[in-house]
Structure 1
Amino acid sequence: MVDADQTFVIVGGGLAGAKAAETLRAEGFTGRVILICDERDHPYERPPLSKGYLLGKEERESVFVHEPAWYAAHDIELHLGQTVDAIDRAAKTVRFGDDGTAVRYDKLLLATGAEPRRLDIPGTDLAGVHHLRRLAHAERLKHVLTNLGRDNGHLVIAGAGWIGLEVAAAAREYGAEVTVVHRGPTPLHSVLGPELGQLFAELHREHGVRFHFNARLTEITGQDGMVLAARTDDGEEHPAHDVLAAIGAAPRTHLAEAAGLEIAGPAHGGGIVVDERLRTSDPDIHAAGDVVSFPHALFDTRLRVEHWANALNGGPAAARAMLGHDVTYDRVPYFFSDQYDLGMEYSGWAPPGSYDQVVMRGDAGKREFIAFWVKEGRVLAGMNVNVWNVTDPIQRLIRGRARVDTENLADPHIPLEDLAP
């Protein structure tokens, strides 16, 4: 039974943590809610950092999950710029802040997110080397892209994942010269496979981006603390005024590890192990968002999903589970991207090797189509490109797991709703 004497602590002030706090109050919890965030900014959403805000099309205030006054109005004890040092599971306390304040919890939610993977090469201490994860990073990068565009400067991006490509698109819109160095044979190879990865390569080439595939950075050279060039393992040297490391993100599990919670292996994303109720190996500690590795019955594996929708939905699901509600977290993974005049949404999970064909519906040449990743007639994932209001039927196809005639799947004259069970 939850009552006003209980204290729920949330560690992590991103979207998952903020939405969990909102849900606790919406569900009628009247006890203490303590939200601890290691950033000094109020909780915000991350997609605008590489999209609208970075491009200057959205105001800074638009990124925040709630108005600053919302937290006090809902009696959320918000601690900004505070780092949690330790969890004492036996005493059920967390220690945080410069003075080592200890607070007892009845339930604890870890929503510590992920952090950018670092380039382990010489030259990363130069002033022109960047990452993009936090609002402060986006503010700095926005200024950098403005200057590069004005001065016809060069940006080298390590990594052709979603962040790398979205920043490449933004940089070209500012007028900067862009070279992307990527270990794989096509952009987004580990997510979309070669078939659709090539489409994104063509899109960016049309906008002037240069790609260097099957290579990795080995050194960033500079002078007087500033970047001059980036070298690759095949002997190439690319002129650069700035370098962005966009080689993925690692779950921030150090706090959970130190507390003795179970951590998944690399094959399952390396996040905090949770069950279908988002409970960790300690029943009084839940976890949500980028940091978790959760079991997904639909795909018969553990997944760690770093995208916005996982934080948006996972935080509230964990909050309800903390309140004792019957929760099964099995959302179909979903993400979206905007690059130049291409907008897309992706639902499902179909890494290379998991599918036997890609079925196209629509006109790929005009970049108005839906792609389906299919195995033995069953849809594992779908991506709609410049085609809208189809996410629900795509997700029903994935959830239904029924065999679908691929000719019908490819036929744009047959409504998707007629194919979904």
Structure 2
Amino acid sequence: MPNDDQLPPSTPLPPMSLAGVRVLDLSRVLAGPWCTQTLADLGADVVKVERPGNGDDTRSWGPPYLKDDQGADTAEAAYYLGANRNKRSIAIDIANPAGQDLIRRFARGADVLVENFKVGDLARYGLDAATLMAENPGLVVCSITGFGQTGPYRERAGYDYAVQGLGGLMSVTGERDDLPGGGPQKVGVAVADLFTGLYSAVAILAALRHRDATGQGQRIDMALLDTQIAMLANLGANYLCTGRAPGRMGNAHQNIVPYQTFEASDGYLILAVGNDGQFAKFCEIAGRPDWAQDPRFARNADRVRHRDLLVPQIAAVLKTRPRQDWLGQFEAAHVPCGAINDLAEAFADPQVQSRDMTVAMPHPLTEQLRLVASPLKLSVTPVAYRRAPPLLGEHTRELLAEIGCDAQQIDTLLHEGVVG
């Protein structure tokens, strides 16, 4: 055996922003798990509480499923894997009084609790915010629902798709109503869920800063519909300033021209001219410097008013040459533009690869699980990929031991079906 001073030095793990923060995660599907995965990526210890037997609904939302090392499908859906890394899983029957007692014990040692039960459901189990905060006054409780804890819709179940419709997003997404293919269209990913998860993480961090300064926890009331209304951003401001509801514009922009897709001779490209200087550069490349001098087109406000006259002329010019010719010239002149990639092309893009936007992690069912990486780039406290998305109840014994259960008590809880 070598002496200690002969052993290679261990590589210390970099510090993490949320190291030491314990999050009790009673959420499922997407908005809540997206929030807690963000916290976990930043170093929080996230304990994911799931139903014995089935677990998070998204475990079965497939195909596709994770394949094992022999190429066979496992029971782990890709949907679930995308929102649950860096967590530990314990399966607890919340309807069982003994299970409720376990959750209260976990909550007493937690900094944050995230849940997305229907309004009032946790009170039936004695696990509502008021009860838990009476035992742990510094606890931050974040409740995520479709419509919030107040208002006439508070008892409705909330789903991203329905909220995209109710909250106005589908009225501004998709092709114009007067063109082929026009009509309501949802966004291709569950943006109301994802935005709510991110807003929830921001609110939790703010509440933790207050708690650290004062010792006082608080409740956070997050709603998908609220978030959907907020994320309308400039379109919501357009309506409030004018009283006129904007409609669908397809790939065009409500407030900027030219800012949309155009067809080149061999495919589509994006042109995103954001100011008048960029428009003048574009006009030079397009061989139409006169457009930049035309009082109908010289300023963005004029281009917006005369888009139906200008856009067809731009389309005719851009269709005369291949898209790579255009993109090369536009990029050299700093005229904002871009290709339109599918996901295979996006992940193969050299910029995406250089930014390390995929990560490979060992998983109990396969040697290498590839996941989309976190976009958070912190210079001192970087994101760390510590745990693959857990199997259902993978850490049940470990976590019960941490709250003081001995081996015999754990065996009894497993035998009685309180935990799984």
Give TM-score, length-normalised by structure 1: 0.26
More helix as a share of residues? 2
**How high is the TM-score relative to the length of structure 2?**
0.26
Which structure has the larger Rg over C-alpha atoms?
Answer: 2
Task: Select the structure that is richer in strand.
Answer: 1
Larger RCO, structures 1/2 (Cα 8 Å, 6+ apart): 2
